[in-house]
Amino acid sequence: MKKSLAGLISVLSFSAIAAPPQFNNLTKNDVKNVSKEFGANFSHTTVAAPETDGLWGVEVGVVGGSTSTPKFSDVIKSSGGNGSDFKNLYHANVMARAHFPFDLFAELTFLPEQDISDVKIKSQSFGAGWNAGSFFGLPLDLAIGFDYGSGSVAFHQNQDIASSTPAADIKLESKTTNTWVGVSKTFLFFTPYAKVGMSKIKSDLDATGSILSYQSSQKESVNLSGNYLAVGANLQFLFIKLGVEASQIQSVKRFSGKLSVDF
């Protein structure tokens, strides 16, 4: 599974880039913007409707997609790098989902550490919820849920005298939690769904070089909060399930897809 995932990541990749990002003279607002976009990219998703079909069920597969990161691109450009390479970030994970008696469900995703274009990246996430609609026999699925996602990227940037960029080892870690209410309805093989709620992002930036313009310490932590919204649909043929999802996490837009086997 790990080898097949590595092959998938080599296609999707962290970003279609020839070199790592570049950070220099970051402002406090730059750190917040980058943290928000990375936190949204690593936010949990299995591209799944908040449904529970039957007493037991298991689904395994892969999810992947892209997150729009214009602020990250601007930071790279202002730091002397090629910002056009970073207009989007990409995510891809192995996923598993199961539902249990009393219409409870749990989800997991995992990406082992990968080294892509000299950038080390890894992520993992989980989610859990309860489908009250099915539990009480309502005509549609109505669920409440909670999920948590974390990820990190680490890279080395070389000194660039022309742009005054310092040599530095940089690591950015983010943790994203979402609480939501979701609805879905199955029509034969087609299940549209929507989720709405609140999101919190905590991010930690650590560098060995002077990349921050506003303080001498090169460590920074930020905490952000905002709205969470996701709409999507699943299409199932026998055991094969396909899914698409568009989400907005604290104003950051993300698109994801899924290929899975559902039992």
What mean pLDDT is predicted for residues 27-55?
96
What mean pLDDT is predicted for residues 91-101?
96
- pLDDT for 164 equals 82
CA distance 116 to 110: 17
pLDDT at residue 2 is higher than 80 = no
- pLDDT for 18 equals 53
What mean pLDDT is predicted for residues 167-192?
96
Contact by Cβ (8 Å): 191, 182: no
Instruction: Map out the domains of the chain with their CATH numbers.
Output: 2-262 (2.40.160.20)
Return the minimum-mean-pLDDT range out of 124-133, 156-165, 229-238. Answer: 156-165
For the chain, what is the mean pLDDT? 91
Amino acid at 123: S
User: Please, which pLDDT band fits residue 81 given cuts at 50, 70 and 90?
Assistant: confident
What mean pLDDT is predicted for residues 38-63?
96
pLDDT at residue 208 is higher than 60 = yes
Any bridge partners for residue 176, and if so which?
Answer: 149, 201
Closest CA to 16 of 66, 74, 80, 76: 66
Cut 0.85: pTM above it? yes
Q: How far is CA 161 from the centre of its chain?
A: 34
